[in-house]
Amino acid sequence: MTTAYCTTADVAMAAGKYQTLSAAETTAASASIIQAQAIIEKATGTFFYQAHLQVTTEPVNRVQTRLFLPAPCLSIDNNTITENGSVLTLGTDFLLYQPSPGGIPTGPGYLEKMADSVADWVGPAAIAPWVKLQQSVVVSGVFGYASVPADINKLCAWKAAELLGWLTIDYSDGGGISHQVGKNGMPDWALRILRGRTVNFLDEQYFGIKVLS
């Protein structure tokens, strides 16, 4: 189940609405959050909720040794995956690399297949390419983030408010008449979040994702 990246109250705060939203405004904000999340996920190439998933993927060439995952991998079911129907065991046949400074995931991890389970080192001499067959690798486990990152929460609230037309600027013309117009363009802080969270998978590696629970 997808977790909302922000609340309707977050959207109201992003828009400077400090009074309780009406029922109609709340309904509109809820729909806008869903749309904003879809835009963020498409722009970054990943997702920021936590879910138990079955991920099917494949290397893009016959020499690919680093098999990327679509989001941070928090755990792998039974510490095993399958490659072209063969069972591989974590720590014996493959390794999981998950960037998590301070224990907090910062982005998608990747898998490397060990060429020789007897080898007592990890490096280019000890890894092997993945089998280049369509949808050859299946990984089931828990992916994503235990809680929505604060920057994604802020970005989603801003984007939802923008989609609703709630971000405006008030000004007076030369005749002293007040006007209100919508803000256009993405602010620098939002662009920095998007750039920092965007992942670049090797040659658009394919992912098939099935929700398990």
Instruction: Dump pLDDT digits (tens) for 16-47.
Output: 988 899 999 999 999 999 999 999 999 999 99
pLDDT at 181 over 60: no
Give the pLDDT of residue 7: 96
Mean pLDDT of 98-104: 81
Give the pLDDT of residue 123: 52
Q: Is the dihedral of CA 49, 101, 195, 71 positive or negative?
A: negative
Rounded CA separation 82/204 (Å) = 21
* Higher per-residue pLDDT: 178 or 148: 148
Give the pLDDT of residue 18: 84
pLDDT at 189 over 60: yes
Radius of gyration of the chain (CA): 22
139: confidence class by pLDDT, cuts 50, 70, 90 = very high
pTM: 0.82
pLDDT at 102 over 80: no
Give the pLDDT of residue 180: 54
pLDDT tens for residues 67-89?
A: 999 999 999 999 999 999 999 99
Give the pLDDT of residue 204: 76
